[in-house]
Amino acid sequence: MHTFTVDAPDVSRAWLEACARLSQVPGKKAFHTVVRIADPLKEDAHLRAELDRVRAARSKDPLYSIDTVVNTLFPVALAATCSTHEELTDRYRAFYPRLQEVRRNTHGTYFGRLVAHPGTPEKPEPVDQLARVIRRLAKLRTSSKWSAVYEAGTAQVTDDDRWENGPQESEAVIRAAAVDTQTLDFPCLSHCSFQLDGATNTVHLAAYYRSHYMFARAYGNYLALGHLCAWVARHAGLTPGTLTVMAGCARLDCTQLELDAVQNTVTTPLFRLGA
Protein backbone atom coordinates (compact mmCIF):
# COMPACT_ATOMS: atom_id res chain seq x y z
CA MET A 1 0.00 0.00 0.00
CA HIS A 2 1.33 3.43 -0.96
CA THR A 3 0.89 6.23 1.55
CA PHE A 4 2.55 9.46 2.71
CA THR A 5 2.47 12.23 5.29
CA VAL A 6 2.98 15.91 4.48
CA ASP A 7 3.74 18.67 7.01
CA ALA A 8 3.73 22.18 5.57
CA PRO A 9 3.36 25.78 6.76
CA ASP A 10 0.59 26.81 4.35
CA VAL A 11 -2.05 25.53 1.93
CA SER A 12 -0.03 26.04 -1.27
CA ARG A 13 3.02 24.12 -0.08
CA ALA A 14 0.95 21.36 1.47
CA TRP A 15 -1.12 20.85 -1.69
CA LEU A 16 1.85 20.95 -4.05
CA GLU A 17 3.93 18.52 -2.04
CA ALA A 18 1.01 16.10 -1.70
CA CYS A 19 0.50 16.21 -5.47
CA ALA A 20 4.21 15.67 -6.06
CA ARG A 21 4.16 12.62 -3.79
CA LEU A 22 1.19 11.19 -5.68
CA SER A 23 2.84 11.82 -9.06
CA GLN A 24 5.59 9.37 -8.04
CA VAL A 25 3.19 6.60 -7.01
CA PRO A 26 2.06 3.94 -9.52
CA GLY A 27 -1.45 4.76 -10.63
CA LYS A 28 -1.18 8.17 -8.92
CA LYS A 29 -3.22 6.83 -6.03
CA ALA A 30 -2.37 6.42 -2.34
CA PHE A 31 -4.26 5.27 0.75
CA HIS A 32 -4.59 6.72 4.24
CA THR A 33 -2.66 9.86 3.39
CA VAL A 34 -2.15 12.66 5.93
CA VAL A 35 -1.66 16.35 5.10
CA ARG A 36 -1.00 18.67 8.05
CA ILE A 37 -1.08 22.46 7.53
CA ALA A 38 0.20 24.89 10.17
CA ASP A 39 -1.68 27.92 8.78
CA PRO A 40 -4.61 26.77 6.60
CA LEU A 41 -5.57 30.34 5.63
CA LYS A 42 -2.16 31.21 4.20
CA GLU A 43 -1.33 30.57 0.52
CA ASP A 44 1.03 31.59 -2.27
CA ALA A 45 -0.79 34.08 -4.53
CA HIS A 46 1.24 33.21 -7.63
CA LEU A 47 0.66 29.48 -7.27
CA ARG A 48 -3.06 30.04 -6.62
CA ALA A 49 -3.45 32.22 -9.72
CA GLU A 50 -1.68 29.68 -11.94
CA LEU A 51 -3.72 26.81 -10.52
CA ASP A 52 -6.96 28.63 -11.32
CA ARG A 53 -5.67 29.36 -14.83
CA VAL A 54 -4.72 25.74 -15.52
CA ARG A 55 -8.02 24.46 -14.13
CA ALA A 56 -10.02 26.81 -16.37
CA ALA A 57 -7.87 26.05 -19.44
CA ARG A 58 -9.15 22.51 -19.82
CA SER A 59 -10.98 22.50 -23.16
CA LYS A 60 -13.03 19.35 -22.58
CA ASP A 61 -13.46 19.39 -18.83
CA PRO A 62 -12.87 22.84 -17.30
CA LEU A 63 -13.01 22.88 -13.52
CA TYR A 64 -14.75 25.28 -11.18
CA SER A 65 -12.64 28.08 -9.74
CA ILE A 66 -10.98 27.53 -6.37
CA ASP A 67 -13.38 30.08 -4.84
CA THR A 68 -16.36 28.02 -6.00
CA VAL A 69 -14.93 24.89 -4.38
CA VAL A 70 -14.27 26.83 -1.16
CA ASN A 71 -17.82 28.15 -0.96
CA THR A 72 -19.29 24.67 -1.20
CA LEU A 73 -17.75 23.90 2.17
CA PHE A 74 -17.69 27.37 3.72
CA PRO A 75 -19.44 30.50 2.33
CA VAL A 76 -16.60 32.96 2.87
CA ALA A 77 -18.23 36.06 1.37
CA LEU A 78 -21.52 35.51 3.19
CA ALA A 79 -19.78 34.86 6.50
CA ALA A 80 -17.84 38.12 6.14
CA THR A 81 -21.15 40.03 6.30
CA CYS A 82 -22.49 38.17 9.36
CA SER A 83 -21.73 39.23 12.92
CA THR A 84 -23.03 36.05 14.60
CA HIS A 85 -23.17 32.37 13.77
CA GLU A 86 -26.96 32.46 14.06
CA GLU A 87 -27.14 35.16 11.39
CA LEU A 88 -24.97 33.12 9.02
CA THR A 89 -27.06 30.00 9.59
CA ASP A 90 -30.38 31.81 9.07
CA ARG A 91 -29.26 33.48 5.87
CA TYR A 92 -27.68 30.32 4.45
CA ARG A 93 -30.73 28.21 5.24
CA ALA A 94 -32.95 30.80 3.54
CA PHE A 95 -31.39 30.18 0.12
CA TYR A 96 -30.24 26.59 0.67
CA PRO A 97 -33.25 25.16 -1.26
CA ARG A 98 -32.24 27.28 -4.27
CA LEU A 99 -28.68 25.94 -4.07
CA GLN A 100 -30.04 22.40 -4.14
CA GLU A 101 -31.80 23.12 -7.43
CA VAL A 102 -28.36 23.19 -9.07
CA ARG A 103 -27.59 19.72 -10.38
CA ARG A 104 -24.25 19.36 -8.61
CA ASN A 105 -25.93 20.27 -5.31
CA THR A 106 -28.84 17.83 -5.60
CA HIS A 107 -27.82 16.04 -2.42
CA GLY A 108 -26.89 19.28 -0.66
CA THR A 109 -23.64 21.06 0.11
CA TYR A 110 -21.07 20.38 2.78
CA PHE A 111 -21.87 23.58 4.61
CA GLY A 112 -25.56 22.78 4.32
CA ARG A 113 -24.91 19.47 6.07
CA LEU A 114 -23.05 21.34 8.81
CA VAL A 115 -25.75 23.91 9.56
CA ALA A 116 -28.87 22.17 8.26
CA HIS A 117 -28.27 18.45 8.54
CA PRO A 118 -31.40 16.41 7.62
CA GLY A 119 -33.43 15.49 10.68
CA THR A 120 -35.21 12.22 11.36
CA PRO A 121 -38.90 11.26 11.28
CA GLU A 122 -38.92 11.65 15.05
CA LYS A 123 -37.09 15.01 14.96
CA PRO A 124 -37.62 16.45 11.47
CA GLU A 125 -36.08 19.88 12.12
CA PRO A 126 -32.68 20.39 10.44
CA VAL A 127 -29.77 20.36 12.87
CA ASP A 128 -27.16 23.13 13.11
CA GLN A 129 -24.13 21.06 14.06
CA LEU A 130 -21.70 23.98 14.03
CA ALA A 131 -23.77 25.82 16.62
CA ARG A 132 -23.46 22.76 18.87
CA VAL A 133 -19.69 22.62 18.36
CA ILE A 134 -19.33 26.33 19.14
CA ARG A 135 -21.47 26.05 22.29
CA ARG A 136 -19.48 23.10 23.61
CA LEU A 137 -16.12 24.70 22.91
CA ALA A 138 -17.15 27.98 24.52
CA LYS A 139 -18.57 26.18 27.56
CA LEU A 140 -15.57 23.96 28.16
CA ARG A 141 -12.68 26.16 27.02
CA THR A 142 -11.65 26.97 30.59
CA SER A 143 -11.45 23.29 31.54
CA SER A 144 -8.29 21.24 31.13
CA LYS A 145 -10.09 17.94 31.69
CA TRP A 146 -11.41 17.41 28.17
CA SER A 147 -9.89 18.07 24.78
CA ALA A 148 -11.62 15.91 22.18
CA VAL A 149 -15.42 16.08 22.15
CA TYR A 150 -16.11 18.49 19.30
CA GLU A 151 -16.72 16.49 16.14
CA ALA A 152 -18.86 16.47 13.04
CA GLY A 153 -19.28 13.28 11.10
CA THR A 154 -20.26 10.17 13.02
CA ALA A 155 -22.33 11.36 15.97
CA GLN A 156 -26.11 11.11 16.10
CA VAL A 157 -27.06 14.62 15.04
CA THR A 158 -30.38 14.55 16.86
CA ASP A 159 -28.69 14.11 20.24
CA ASP A 160 -29.26 17.10 22.51
CA ASP A 161 -26.67 19.17 24.37
CA ARG A 162 -26.45 17.29 27.63
CA TRP A 163 -22.69 17.80 27.84
CA GLU A 164 -22.32 19.87 31.00
CA ASN A 165 -19.32 17.82 32.16
CA GLY A 166 -18.63 15.88 28.97
CA PRO A 167 -15.39 15.62 27.04
CA GLN A 168 -13.92 18.39 24.86
CA GLU A 169 -14.44 17.09 21.36
CA SER A 170 -17.41 17.77 19.10
CA GLU A 171 -18.83 16.17 15.97
CA ALA A 172 -20.63 17.38 12.88
CA VAL A 173 -22.11 14.70 10.68
CA ILE A 174 -21.74 15.11 6.92
CA ARG A 175 -23.22 11.84 5.70
CA ALA A 176 -26.95 11.23 6.13
CA ALA A 177 -27.57 7.50 5.90
CA ALA A 178 -31.19 7.86 4.82
CA VAL A 179 -30.43 10.00 1.76
CA ASP A 180 -26.80 9.26 0.83
CA THR A 181 -27.35 5.90 -0.80
CA GLN A 182 -25.19 6.53 -3.88
CA THR A 183 -21.88 4.68 -4.00
CA LEU A 184 -19.92 7.51 -5.59
CA ASP A 185 -19.92 11.32 -5.41
CA PHE A 186 -21.27 13.38 -2.51
CA PRO A 187 -20.30 13.33 0.25
CA CYS A 188 -16.59 12.55 0.04
CA LEU A 189 -15.96 14.49 3.26
CA SER A 190 -17.36 12.34 6.04
CA HIS A 191 -16.03 13.67 9.32
CA CYS A 192 -14.77 16.84 11.02
CA SER A 193 -13.24 16.73 14.48
CA PHE A 194 -12.37 19.82 16.53
CA GLN A 195 -9.74 19.46 19.26
CA LEU A 196 -9.38 22.03 22.04
CA ASP A 197 -5.94 22.83 23.42
CA GLY A 198 -6.90 24.39 26.73
CA ALA A 199 -3.33 25.41 27.53
CA THR A 200 -3.26 27.85 24.59
CA ASN A 201 -7.01 28.37 23.98
CA THR A 202 -6.51 26.98 20.48
CA VAL A 203 -8.82 24.78 18.45
CA HIS A 204 -7.39 22.40 15.85
CA LEU A 205 -9.38 20.75 13.07
CA ALA A 206 -9.01 17.24 11.63
CA ALA A 207 -11.06 16.20 8.60
CA TYR A 208 -11.50 12.81 6.97
CA TYR A 209 -12.28 12.26 3.28
CA ARG A 210 -13.20 8.79 2.11
CA SER A 211 -11.92 9.84 -1.33
CA HIS A 212 -10.01 12.98 -2.30
CA TYR A 213 -9.39 14.29 -5.82
CA MET A 214 -6.29 16.41 -5.42
CA PHE A 215 -6.53 18.58 -8.55
CA ALA A 216 -10.27 19.09 -8.72
CA ARG A 217 -11.03 19.58 -5.04
CA ALA A 218 -8.22 19.39 -2.50
CA TYR A 219 -6.79 22.93 -2.71
CA GLY A 220 -10.20 24.54 -2.27
CA ASN A 221 -11.10 22.02 0.43
CA TYR A 222 -8.00 22.88 2.44
CA LEU A 223 -8.79 26.60 2.31
CA ALA A 224 -12.45 26.05 3.17
CA LEU A 225 -11.58 23.90 6.18
CA GLY A 226 -9.20 26.63 7.31
CA HIS A 227 -12.04 29.17 7.14
CA LEU A 228 -14.33 26.74 8.95
CA CYS A 229 -11.85 26.30 11.80
CA ALA A 230 -11.31 30.06 12.05
CA TRP A 231 -15.08 30.69 12.15
CA VAL A 232 -15.67 28.15 14.91
CA ALA A 233 -12.69 29.46 16.89
CA ARG A 234 -13.81 33.07 16.59
CA HIS A 235 -17.32 32.43 17.84
CA ALA A 236 -16.13 30.17 20.66
CA GLY A 237 -13.63 32.79 21.84
CA LEU A 238 -10.61 30.72 20.78
CA THR A 239 -7.65 30.91 18.41
CA PRO A 240 -7.62 28.79 15.22
CA GLY A 241 -4.84 26.22 15.05
CA THR A 242 -3.62 23.59 12.60
CA LEU A 243 -5.55 21.62 10.00
CA THR A 244 -5.00 17.91 9.42
CA VAL A 245 -6.66 16.24 6.43
CA MET A 246 -6.76 12.47 6.11
CA ALA A 247 -7.87 10.71 2.94
CA GLY A 248 -8.91 7.09 2.69
CA CYS A 249 -7.88 7.25 -0.97
CA ALA A 250 -6.13 10.25 -2.54
CA ARG A 251 -5.96 10.53 -6.35
CA LEU A 252 -3.94 12.84 -8.57
CA ASP A 253 -6.51 13.67 -11.25
CA CYS A 254 -4.38 15.81 -13.60
CA THR A 255 -1.64 15.40 -16.18
CA GLN A 256 2.03 15.86 -15.42
CA LEU A 257 2.05 18.90 -17.71
CA GLU A 258 -0.69 20.53 -15.66
CA LEU A 259 1.13 19.82 -12.42
CA ASP A 260 4.44 21.07 -13.86
CA ALA A 261 2.78 24.34 -14.95
CA VAL A 262 1.66 25.04 -11.39
CA GLN A 263 4.91 23.84 -9.83
CA ASN A 264 6.95 26.12 -12.08
CA THR A 265 5.34 29.20 -10.51
CA VAL A 266 7.35 28.47 -7.36
CA THR A 267 10.55 30.36 -8.24
CA THR A 268 12.44 29.50 -5.06
CA PRO A 269 12.93 26.05 -3.50
CA LEU A 270 10.54 26.54 -0.59
CA PHE A 271 10.66 22.87 0.30
CA ARG A 272 11.82 19.50 -0.98
CA LEU A 273 9.01 18.14 -3.09
CA GLY A 274 8.52 14.44 -2.66
CA ALA A 275 11.20 14.17 0.00
Which one, of 261, 266, 263, 258, lies nearest residue 63 by Cα? 258
| Neighbour tally for 139: CB within 10 Å | 15
Residues 81-140: tens digit of each pLDDT: 999 999 999 999 998 888 767 766 666 788 988 998 776 667 778 889 899 999 989 888
The per-residue pLDDT for 178 is 41
pTM for this structure? 0.84
CA atoms within 13 A on the CB side of 57: 12
At how many degrees (to 10) do helices 256-263 and 45-56 cross?
A: 150
